[in-house]
């Protein structure tokens, strides 16, 4: 299971505790999530925060440093960013993606607190 690369773990697990901080991460999608189409996943957060965005097929929550993250394993890292970030991905032409929704989420830290976004649940279309 790919959870987080070492770089993301090091930026998130710096003694920060799970609480309401100043990051307010939000994950959004643009595009149509049909097989073979491209979608852009965008995470917005305070420019003073660092974090990562990932997706998973399992139901959550998953615990990360005392924080309930609204996605479950298996989880795959998508990107890390300081403040806001985005990535365009192509939905694979694979009928397995039609059977189960994909959940996107982000975890950000301001150095003192960890915050998780609300889940973004995406169901692929044919």
pLDDT tens digits for range 21-41:
689 999 999 999 999 999 999
Residue with the bigger pLDDT between 85 and 113: it is: 85
Residue with the bigger pLDDT between 20 and 111: it is: 111
Q: Is residue 32 part of a domain?
A: yes
Structure tokens at 4: 């987080």
CB 56 within 8 A of CB 48: no
Q: Is residue 1 part of a domain?
A: no
Q: What are φ and ψ of residue 35, in 5° steps?
A: -55, 130
3-state secondary structure of 18: strand
Q: What is the CATH number of the domain that holds 36?
A: 2.60.40
Structure tokens at 28: 């959004």
Summarize pLDDT for 56-87 with one digit per residue, the tens. 887 788 877 777 888 887 888 888 888 899 99
pLDDT band at residue 19 using 50, 70 and 90 as cut-offs: low
- Cβ–Cβ contacts within 10 Å for residue 15, how many? 8
How confident is the model at residue 3, as a pLDDT? 43
Q: Which of 4-18, 30-44, 87-101 has the highest mean pLDDT?
A: 30-44
Query: How many structural domains are present in the chain?
Result: 1
How confident is the model at residue 11, as a pLDDT? 47
Q: Is residue 76 part of a domain?
A: yes
pTM metric for this prediction: 0.83
CB 9 within 8 A of CB 104: no
Q: Is residue 126 part of a domain?
A: no
Q: Is residue 38 part of a domain?
A: yes
Q: Distance from first CA to last CA of the chain, Å, rounded?
A: 27
Domain range spanning residue 106?
Answer: 6-120
Average per-residue pLDDT for the chain: 82
Euclidean distance between CA atoms 4 and 75, whole angstroms: 8
């Amino acid at each position: 299971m790919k959870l987080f690369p070492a770089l993301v773990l090091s930026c998130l697990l710096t003694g920060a505790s799970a609480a309401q901080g100043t990051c307010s991460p939000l994950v959004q999608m643009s595009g149509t999530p049909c097989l073979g189409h491209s979608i852009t996943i965008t995470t917005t957060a305070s420019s003073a925060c660092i974090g990562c965005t990932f997706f998973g097929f399992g139901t959550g929550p998953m615990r990360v440093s005392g924080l309930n993250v609204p996605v479950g394993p298996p989880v795959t890292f998508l990107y890390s960013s300081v403040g806001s970030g985005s990535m365009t991905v192509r939905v694979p032409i694979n009928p397995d993606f039609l059977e189960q929704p994909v959940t996107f989420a982000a975890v950000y830290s301001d150095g003192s607190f960890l915050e998780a976004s609300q889940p973004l649940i995406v169901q692929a279309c044919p």
